Amino acid sequence: MIELVAPSHWKDYELIDCGDFEKLERFGDHILIRPEPQAVWKKALSEQEWKKKANVIFKGRSATSGEWLKKNDSISDRWHVSYDNADVSIKFRLGLTSFKHVGIFPEQAVNWDFISSSLKKFKNPNPKVLNLFAYTGGASLVARAAGAETTHVDSIKQVITWANENQELSGLKDIRWMLEDALKFVKKEIKRGKKYNGIILDPPAYGHGPNGEKWKLENHIQEMMKEVVQLLDEEEHFLILNTYSLGFSSVIVENLIKTSYPQVKNLSTGELYLQATSGIKLPLGVFGKFCNV
């Protein structure tokens, strides 16, 4: 069955409205207007309401960069938010970047809850988790806070530095940071005979490794899945595959997982979305996940 799931208990985040290729959202005390290519419908709230509520607006200079316009100078370029669920509590340092992102993808909170609840079920007192394409480390922080030995893999040094800041801010330590191409790292781990109880993949549509390796989702995801399932611990494991691509459906993700790992148990697939307080749902990627305990 295809599921539709959204975060439901995050005090520091709120999607207020979305439409006309933009979204109005609150991170802590920062209320932002940012581009959103999925929001092809009309806004529920008026332009006047948007401008009244927002204190920071992103203005694009090109398809990949732009600048932030603030209502006043007291608004900081950097600030902190927290995330809590029944099992863990973590913190993030957010920032106004020139490429419209702020350091977290809030829809991923659904997957963070799955990580902590899955680890709670395991009998292994020292589970190991691998986070690939790990960005600023939301999933890594949750896994570590839930007691797992956590390996965080990303190809961008600045992003790993940011993730380490989040680790310190969350009062955590000993996440293993790996600046490496994700597919190359997985192949090395297979040769080393390594196993993981949890694996998280949130690959981009396009990307580059630290040595110029090219990643294109539709060209490389089948190979990645074929390799990465070899790292799953046979006794206790979970896996999350999340994709944000306009061309990918949950059926594609289901087929990728089932053909790569035919013995899969408890597989669920679906679509992540954010529920706006204005009443609109904003779709933000598809997922497949399973836990064998």
Q: The domain 7-78: what is its CATH number?
A: 2.60.40.1180
> Which residues sit opposite 81 in a β-bridge?
92
% of the chain residues with pLDDT over 90: 87
Each residue of 98-112: pLDDT tens digit? 999 999 999 999 999
Higher pLDDT, 207 or 276: 276
Query: What string of DSSP letters covers the chain?
Result: -EEEE-----TTEEEEEEETTEEEEEETTEEEEEE-TT--S--SS-HHHHHHH-SEEEEESSSS-EEEEESSTTS-SEEEEEEE-SS-EEEEEEE--TTS--S--GGGHHHHHHHHHHHHH---SS-EEEEES-TT-HHHHHHHHTT-EEEEEES-HHHHHHHHHHHHHTT----EEEES-HHHHHHHHHHTT--BSEEEE---SEEE-TTS-EEEHHHHHHHHHHHHGGGB-SSS-EEEEEE--TT--HHHHHHHHHHH-TT--S-EEEEEEEE-TTS-EEEEEEEEEEE--
The band of 252, judged by pLDDT with boundaries at 50, 70 and 90, is: very high
Each residue of 62-95: pLDDT tens digit? 767 899 999 998 999 999 999 999 999 999 999 9
Q: How far apart are CA 88 and CA 105, in angstroms?
A: 18
Each residue of 203-247: pLDDT tens digit? 988 888 888 888 888 889 999 999 999 999 999 999 999 998 667
Domain boundaries defined on the chain = 7-78, 104-291
Q: Which fold has domain 104-291?
A: Rossmann fold (3.40.50)
Q: How far apart are CA 79 and CA 62, in angstroms?
A: 26
Position 1 scores a pLDDT of: 58
pTM equals 0.95
Position 173 scores a pLDDT of: 97
Position 124 scores a pLDDT of: 96
Position 213 scores a pLDDT of: 84
Q: How far apart are CA 226 and CA 68, in angstroms?
A: 41
Position 196 scores a pLDDT of: 98
Asked if pLDDT for residue 61 goes beyond 90, the answer is: no
Among candidates 46, 47, 67, 64, which has minimal Cα distance to 56? 67
Position 211 scores a pLDDT of: 84
> What sign does the dihedral 169-149-185-239 (CA atoms) show?
negative
Each residue of 10-57: pLDDT tens digit? 999 999 999 999 999 999 999 999 999 999 999 999 999 999 999 999
Among candidates 86, 145, 141, which has minimal Cα distance to 108? 141
Q: Does the fold of domain 104-291 match that of domain 7-78? A: no
Each residue of 122-153: pLDDT tens digit? 999 999 999 999 999 999 999 999 999 999 99
Pairing label, strands 238-243, 198-201: parallel
Each residue of 160-197: pLDDT tens digit? 999 999 999 999 999 999 999 999 999 999 999 999 99
Position 63 scores a pLDDT of: 65
Position 201 scores a pLDDT of: 97
